Amino acid sequence: MKWIETVPNFSEGRRKEVVDAIVAQAKAYDHVWILDESLDYDHNRSVVTMVGEPESVLKALFDMTKKASELIDLRVHRGEHPRMGATDVIPLIPLRNVTVEECVTHAATLGKRIAEELEIPVYLYEKSATRDERKDLSNIRQGQFEGFAAKIQKPEWCPDFGRREIHPSAGACAVGVREFLIAFNINLRTQDLEIANKIAKAIRNISGGFRYVKALGMELKEKQMVQVSINMTNYKRSTLFRVYEMVKLEAERYAVAIDSSEIVGLTPLQALIDVASFYLRLDGLTPENVLEMKMLEILMKDADGQKTS
C-alpha cells in the first residue's frame, strides 16, 4: 500500500465549526486517516495532519480546499500568521512505497484541478517548484493576501496553474512536496547561549553544515540550559545520528556535555530504524521486522476490505 502524508493549512483558527466542516470532507474518504487537527486562535489558522493512499488523499484535499473557499473569506480574515489563501498551503510528503517524483506529479495534478475547478491560482513550491525563487514558501507568500492582487500581475509571479487573478475571497494557494520534518532538540549543560548558537551554526545548511538541517540556539530558562533547536527537513539524507554526533563533538570543543535530546511531535519509524542500524551496525532492518508494523499492515488490509467509497 502506498502512503503519503499531507498537512494542509487553512486560514481559520477560531470558528471550530468551519474547520470541522472542512475536515468532514476528508472523513468521507476511503484510506484517508486524520491524525491531528489543531486550531491556533492568535494565528487564526488551522493545521490538519492526514495520512493515506495518494489518490484518496488528493480527492480529499480538493474537497477540503473547495469547502474552505466557500467558508473562509480572506477579505475579513485577521491573524498573526502570514497567509495568502483560504487553503494557504498544501504540502505532500512521501511516506511509504511512494517516490518524491510521484508526489511531485500528484502536487501538479492537485494544483491544476484547484486552479481549473475552483478558480484559485496555485503556486508549486519546494520540491515541486518550477523556479528556484519559488522553492521557499515564504518567498511565494510575501505580500500576503492583501498584496497578491498586485503581485500576481508581475511576470515572475505568474501562477503555475490558473489565471493571473486571485480568487476574490479565497486568494491563492501553494502546493508542494517536501520531506517529513522532524523537530529534534539537543539540550546542553551550559547556560551560555553563545555556545548553542555556535553549534547551531556549525550544523545548519545555511552556514555550511548539513544540507537538510535548520538550527538555532535557544535559552531554556527553566532548565538553566541552552538548546540547539533543530529542524531536520530530510531525515533520510541528513540523519539524526550524524547531526547528534556532530553536536556532541562540537560541544566537546567547549567542554560542554549533552544533557539530553528530544523529538517534538512525530517521527517516522524509519528515522529510528536508521539510528538503531547505525549504532548497532544492523544489517537489513526494515519496518517489516517491527511487530507493530505487521499489525498495521493487517489492519490496513482489513480497512481495504471494509470501507467503501
**Whose CA is closest to 93, among 177, 201, 219?**
177
Q: Is 77 a catalytic residue?
A: no
DSSP 134-145: GSSHHHHHTTHH
Q: CA 82, CA 184: separation in Å to the nearest integer? A: 24
User: Per-residue string for binding with a second copy, 153-192, x by CB under 8 A?
Assistant: ---------------------------x------------
**Whose CA is closest to 30, among 66, 69, 59?**
59
| Under rule CB under 8 A, residue 149 binds a second copy | no
Minimum distance, C-beta of residue 142 to a second copy, in the bound complex (Å): 31
| φ/ψ (deg, to 5) at 47 | -125, 125
| Under rule CB under 8 A, residue 218 binds a second copy | no
For a second copy, give the closer residue by CB, 157 or 184.
184
User: Which cell numbers in the block locate residue 80?
Assistant: 498573526
Q: Cα torsion for 299, 302, 308, 309, to the nearest 10°?
A: 40
Q: Among residues 220, 241, 242, 246, which is the contact residue for a second copy, using CB under 8 A?
A: 241
Q: Among residues 78, 222, 255, 284, which is the contact residue for a second copy, using CB under 8 A?
A: 284
**Rounded (5°) CA angle 35-239-9:** 30
For a second copy, give the closer residue by CB, 95 or 170.
95
Window 244 to 263, contacts with a second copy (CB under 8 A) = 244, 258-263
Segment near a second copy (CB under 8 A); pick from 106-114, 118-126, 144-152, 273-281 = 273-281
Q: CA 306, CA 309: separation in Å to the nearest integer? A: 10
**Cross-strand bridge partners of residue 36:** 49
**95 CB contacts (<8 Å, ≥6 apart)?**
3, 4, 5, 51, 180, 268
For a second copy, give the closer residue by CB, 115 or 215.
215
The residue annotated as part of the active site, out of 31, 77, 81, 167, is 81
Q: Among residues 19, 51, 108, 203, which is the contact residue for a second copy, using CB under 8 A?
A: 51
Return the active site residues. 81
Binding site for a second copy (CB under 8 A): 5, 33-36, 51, 95, 180, 240-241, 244, 258-263, 265-269, 272-273, 275-276, 279-285, 287, 289-296, 298-300, 302-303, 306
